Structure 1
Amino acid sequence: MAIGWLTVLKLVPWGDVIENAPKVASGAKKLWNNVGKKPDAPPETLAPVPGMPGDVPDPVAALQAEVLQLQGAVAQLHQQMLESSALIGSLAEQNTQLIARVEVNRKRVLGLAIAVVMLLGVVVSKLI
Protein backbone atom coordinates (compact mmCIF):
# COMPACT_ATOMS: atom_id res chain seq x y z
CA MET A 1 0.00 0.00 0.00
CA ALA A 2 1.63 3.21 -1.17
CA ILE A 3 1.31 6.06 1.29
CA GLY A 4 2.21 9.58 0.22
CA TRP A 5 5.07 11.35 1.96
CA LEU A 6 2.73 13.99 3.34
CA THR A 7 0.58 11.30 4.93
CA VAL A 8 3.65 9.61 6.41
CA LEU A 9 4.87 12.92 7.83
CA LYS A 10 1.46 13.53 9.39
CA LEU A 11 1.63 10.13 11.12
CA VAL A 12 5.04 10.68 12.71
CA PRO A 13 4.84 11.07 16.52
CA TRP A 14 6.54 14.45 16.54
CA GLY A 15 6.30 14.61 20.34
CA ASP A 16 8.67 11.66 20.67
CA VAL A 17 10.95 13.04 17.98
CA ILE A 18 11.13 16.38 19.76
CA GLU A 19 11.63 14.67 23.12
CA ASN A 20 14.61 12.68 21.84
CA ALA A 21 16.07 15.45 19.69
CA PRO A 22 18.31 16.92 22.43
CA LYS A 23 19.93 13.52 23.00
CA VAL A 24 20.67 13.11 19.32
CA ALA A 25 21.87 16.69 18.98
CA SER A 26 24.22 16.43 21.96
CA GLY A 27 25.59 13.13 20.67
CA ALA A 28 26.14 14.60 17.23
CA LYS A 29 27.77 17.71 18.69
CA LYS A 30 30.07 15.58 20.85
CA LEU A 31 30.99 13.45 17.85
CA TRP A 32 31.63 16.54 15.73
CA ASN A 33 33.80 18.11 18.44
CA ASN A 34 35.87 14.94 18.67
CA VAL A 35 36.21 14.33 14.95
CA GLY A 36 35.55 17.46 12.93
CA LYS A 37 37.23 20.24 14.85
CA LYS A 38 40.51 18.60 15.75
CA PRO A 39 43.38 19.83 13.61
CA ASP A 40 45.74 17.25 12.27
CA ALA A 41 48.65 16.74 14.62
CA PRO A 42 51.85 18.21 13.24
CA PRO A 43 54.56 15.65 12.65
CA GLU A 44 56.89 15.44 15.59
CA THR A 45 60.44 16.49 15.00
CA LEU A 46 63.07 14.08 16.16
CA ALA A 47 65.19 15.45 18.94
CA PRO A 48 68.87 14.60 18.89
CA VAL A 49 69.94 12.07 21.50
CA PRO A 50 72.66 13.43 23.78
CA GLY A 51 76.03 11.91 23.19
CA MET A 52 75.41 11.10 19.52
CA PRO A 53 77.96 12.54 17.15
CA GLY A 54 76.69 15.19 14.74
CA ASP A 55 73.27 15.43 16.45
CA VAL A 56 71.95 12.45 14.48
CA PRO A 57 68.72 11.18 16.04
CA ASP A 58 68.71 7.65 17.40
CA PRO A 59 66.68 5.51 14.98
CA VAL A 60 65.43 3.23 17.78
CA ALA A 61 64.23 6.19 19.85
CA ALA A 62 62.60 7.68 16.76
CA LEU A 63 60.75 4.42 16.09
CA GLN A 64 59.67 4.15 19.72
CA ALA A 65 58.33 7.71 19.63
CA GLU A 66 56.45 6.98 16.41
CA VAL A 67 54.97 3.79 17.90
CA LEU A 68 53.79 5.73 20.96
CA GLN A 69 52.27 8.40 18.72
CA LEU A 70 50.48 5.76 16.64
CA GLN A 71 49.20 4.01 19.76
CA GLY A 72 47.71 7.31 20.94
CA ALA A 73 46.08 7.86 17.57
CA VAL A 74 44.62 4.34 17.61
CA ALA A 75 43.23 4.92 21.11
CA GLN A 76 41.58 8.17 19.95
CA LEU A 77 40.09 6.45 16.91
CA HIS A 78 38.78 3.64 19.10
CA GLN A 79 37.10 6.14 21.44
CA GLN A 80 35.56 7.98 18.48
CA MET A 81 34.32 4.67 17.09
CA LEU A 82 32.65 3.85 20.42
CA GLU A 83 30.97 7.27 20.54
CA SER A 84 29.81 6.90 16.94
CA SER A 85 28.42 3.46 17.70
CA ALA A 86 26.48 4.82 20.67
CA LEU A 87 25.04 7.61 18.54
CA ILE A 88 24.10 5.19 15.76
CA GLY A 89 22.47 2.89 18.33
CA SER A 90 20.43 5.79 19.67
CA LEU A 91 19.32 6.76 16.16
CA ALA A 92 18.43 3.15 15.35
CA GLU A 93 16.31 2.88 18.51
CA GLN A 94 14.48 6.07 17.63
CA ASN A 95 13.94 4.83 14.09
CA THR A 96 12.45 1.60 15.45
CA GLN A 97 10.09 3.56 17.68
CA LEU A 98 9.03 5.78 14.78
CA ILE A 99 8.30 2.80 12.56
CA ALA A 100 6.22 1.15 15.28
CA ARG A 101 4.24 4.36 15.79
CA VAL A 102 3.70 4.77 12.04
CA GLU A 103 2.29 1.23 11.86
CA VAL A 104 -0.05 1.84 14.81
CA ASN A 105 -1.24 5.10 13.29
CA ARG A 106 -1.76 3.44 9.90
CA LYS A 107 -4.02 0.85 11.50
CA ARG A 108 -5.93 3.55 13.38
CA VAL A 109 -6.47 5.57 10.22
CA LEU A 110 -7.70 2.48 8.40
CA GLY A 111 -10.14 1.76 11.25
CA LEU A 112 -11.33 5.37 11.23
CA ALA A 113 -11.80 5.26 7.46
CA ILE A 114 -13.95 2.13 7.78
CA ALA A 115 -15.98 3.77 10.58
CA VAL A 116 -16.52 6.91 8.49
CA VAL A 117 -17.69 4.85 5.51
CA MET A 118 -20.10 2.94 7.75
CA LEU A 119 -21.43 6.15 9.29
CA LEU A 120 -21.78 7.68 5.84
CA GLY A 121 -23.80 4.64 4.81
CA VAL A 122 -26.05 5.02 7.87
CA VAL A 123 -26.56 8.75 7.20
CA VAL A 124 -27.37 8.14 3.53
CA SER A 125 -29.81 5.37 4.41
CA LYS A 126 -31.58 7.67 6.93
CA LEU A 127 -31.85 10.45 4.39
CA ILE A 128 -33.37 8.25 1.73
Structure 2
Amino acid sequence: MAIGWLSILKAVPWTDVVSNAPKVADGAKKLWETVARKKAPTGTSASATSDTSSPAGQEARIAELAGELDRLQQEMLASSQLLKTLAEQNAQLVRRVYWQSRLLLVVGLIAVAGLTLVLLR
Protein backbone atom coordinates (compact mmCIF):
# COMPACT_ATOMS: atom_id res chain seq x y z
CA MET A 1 0.00 0.00 0.00
CA ALA A 2 2.81 2.41 0.86
CA ILE A 3 4.53 1.67 -2.44
CA GLY A 4 1.42 2.85 -4.33
CA TRP A 5 1.42 6.14 -2.47
CA LEU A 6 5.13 6.51 -3.01
CA SER A 7 4.77 6.07 -6.76
CA ILE A 8 1.93 8.61 -6.81
CA LEU A 9 3.99 11.12 -4.85
CA LYS A 10 6.94 10.61 -7.19
CA ALA A 11 4.70 11.32 -10.20
CA VAL A 12 3.57 14.72 -8.90
CA PRO A 13 5.40 17.63 -10.57
CA TRP A 14 6.45 19.22 -7.30
CA THR A 15 8.23 22.10 -8.99
CA ASP A 16 4.93 23.23 -10.52
CA VAL A 17 3.07 22.70 -7.28
CA VAL A 18 5.63 24.75 -5.38
CA SER A 19 5.81 27.47 -8.04
CA ASN A 20 2.01 27.86 -8.08
CA ALA A 21 1.65 27.71 -4.31
CA PRO A 22 2.10 31.50 -3.84
CA LYS A 23 -0.80 32.19 -6.22
CA VAL A 24 -3.05 29.82 -4.31
CA ALA A 25 -1.92 31.26 -1.00
CA ASP A 26 -2.57 34.83 -2.20
CA GLY A 27 -6.03 33.85 -3.39
CA ALA A 28 -6.78 32.18 -0.10
CA LYS A 29 -5.47 35.21 1.79
CA LYS A 30 -7.67 37.58 -0.23
CA LEU A 31 -10.66 35.35 0.34
CA TRP A 32 -9.94 35.22 4.07
CA GLU A 33 -9.54 39.01 4.26
CA THR A 34 -12.85 39.44 2.46
CA VAL A 35 -14.55 37.13 4.90
CA ALA A 36 -12.79 38.72 7.87
CA ARG A 37 -13.89 42.23 6.82
CA LYS A 38 -17.48 41.11 7.06
CA LYS A 39 -19.09 43.41 9.55
CA ALA A 40 -20.72 41.93 12.59
CA PRO A 41 -24.41 41.29 12.08
CA THR A 42 -26.53 43.99 13.59
CA GLY A 43 -29.26 42.72 15.83
CA THR A 44 -32.82 43.61 14.96
CA SER A 45 -33.82 45.28 18.15
CA ALA A 46 -37.10 47.03 18.78
CA SER A 47 -35.54 50.38 17.92
CA ALA A 48 -34.22 49.02 14.62
CA THR A 49 -37.62 47.71 13.64
CA SER A 50 -39.29 50.97 14.60
CA ASP A 51 -36.81 52.89 12.42
CA THR A 52 -37.84 50.84 9.40
CA SER A 53 -41.44 51.98 9.72
CA SER A 54 -40.49 55.46 8.51
CA PRO A 55 -39.58 56.00 4.85
CA ALA A 56 -36.12 57.30 5.81
CA GLY A 57 -35.50 54.21 7.94
CA GLN A 58 -36.61 51.95 5.12
CA GLU A 59 -34.32 53.71 2.65
CA ALA A 60 -31.39 53.39 5.06
CA ARG A 61 -32.12 49.71 5.52
CA ILE A 62 -32.36 49.21 1.74
CA ALA A 63 -29.00 50.99 1.28
CA GLU A 64 -27.48 48.81 4.00
CA LEU A 65 -28.80 45.65 2.37
CA ALA A 66 -27.56 46.79 -1.06
CA GLY A 67 -24.08 47.29 0.40
CA GLU A 68 -24.23 43.86 1.99
CA LEU A 69 -25.29 42.36 -1.34
CA ASP A 70 -22.36 44.03 -3.12
CA ARG A 71 -19.96 42.71 -0.48
CA LEU A 72 -21.35 39.19 -0.84
CA GLN A 73 -21.02 39.36 -4.62
CA GLN A 74 -17.37 40.42 -4.32
CA GLU A 75 -16.77 37.59 -1.87
CA MET A 76 -18.40 35.15 -4.29
CA LEU A 77 -16.19 36.40 -7.12
CA ALA A 78 -13.07 35.98 -4.99
CA SER A 79 -14.14 32.46 -4.05
CA SER A 80 -14.85 31.51 -7.63
CA GLN A 81 -11.49 32.90 -8.78
CA LEU A 82 -9.72 30.81 -6.14
CA LEU A 83 -11.68 27.73 -7.20
CA LYS A 84 -10.83 28.40 -10.84
CA THR A 85 -7.13 28.63 -10.00
CA LEU A 86 -7.27 25.41 -8.01
CA ALA A 87 -9.15 23.65 -10.81
CA GLU A 88 -6.58 24.75 -13.38
CA GLN A 89 -3.75 23.49 -11.20
CA ASN A 90 -5.58 20.22 -10.65
CA ALA A 91 -6.03 19.75 -14.40
CA GLN A 92 -2.34 20.49 -14.93
CA LEU A 93 -1.40 17.92 -12.29
CA VAL A 94 -3.66 15.31 -13.89
CA ARG A 95 -2.08 15.92 -17.31
CA ARG A 96 1.41 15.64 -15.86
CA VAL A 97 0.58 12.45 -13.97
CA TYR A 98 -0.88 10.98 -17.17
CA TRP A 99 2.24 11.74 -19.19
CA GLN A 100 4.51 10.56 -16.39
CA SER A 101 2.65 7.25 -16.32
CA ARG A 102 3.01 6.94 -20.11
CA LEU A 103 6.72 7.70 -19.85
CA LEU A 104 7.09 5.13 -17.09
CA LEU A 105 5.32 2.57 -19.27
CA VAL A 106 7.67 3.27 -22.19
CA VAL A 107 10.73 3.07 -19.94
CA GLY A 108 9.43 -0.20 -18.50
CA LEU A 109 8.89 -1.66 -21.96
CA ILE A 110 12.38 -0.61 -23.02
CA ALA A 111 13.81 -2.17 -19.85
CA VAL A 112 11.95 -5.43 -20.48
CA ALA A 113 13.12 -5.45 -24.11
CA GLY A 114 16.71 -4.79 -23.02
CA LEU A 115 16.56 -7.49 -20.36
CA THR A 116 15.15 -9.90 -22.91
CA LEU A 117 17.99 -9.14 -25.33
CA VAL A 118 20.57 -9.60 -22.59
CA LEU A 119 19.09 -12.95 -21.54
CA LEU A 120 18.90 -14.22 -25.12
CA ARG A 121 22.60 -13.63 -25.81
Q: Shorter-normalised TM-score: what interval?
A: 0.7 to 0.9
Task: Output the CA distance in 2 between the equivalents of 1:40 and 1:106.
Answer: 51
1:9 corresponds in structure 2 to: 9
Task: Output the CA distance in 2 between the equivalents of 1:72 and 1:43.
Answer: 17
Structure 2 segments unaligned to the other structure (5+ residues): none
Q: Which has the larger radius of gyration?
A: 1
2:18 corresponds in structure 1 to: 18
Q: How many residues align?
A: 116
Task: Output the CA distance in 2 between the equivalents of 1:121 and 1:39.
Answer: 71
After TM superposition, the structure 1 = structure 2 runs for residues 22-41 of structure 1, keeping only pairs within 5 Å, are: 22-36=22-36, 38-41=38-41
1:113 corresponds in structure 2 to: 108
Q: CA-atom RMSD, angstroms?
A: 2.3
1:72 matches 2:67: yes
Residues 28-85 of structure 1: per-residue CA shift (max 9 Å, x gap): 01101111464514348869xxxxxxxx856211111111110000000000111111
Higher relative contact order (CA 8 A, sep 6+): 2
2:83 maps to which of 78, 85, 88:
88
Question: Runs of 4 or more off by more than 3 Å in structure 1?
Answer: 36-39, 41-47
Could you tell me the percent identity over the aligned residues?
Answer: 43
Task: Output the CA distance in 1 between the equivalents of 2:21 and 2:37.
Answer: 22
Structure 1 segments unaligned to the other structure (5+ residues): 48-55
Secondary structure of 1:115's match? helix
Structure 1 residues 37 and 124, CA, compared in 2 at 3 Å: closer, same or farther?
farther
Task: Output the CA distance in 1 between the equivalents of 2:44 and 2:71.
Answer: 18
1:5 Cα deviation after fit: 3.0
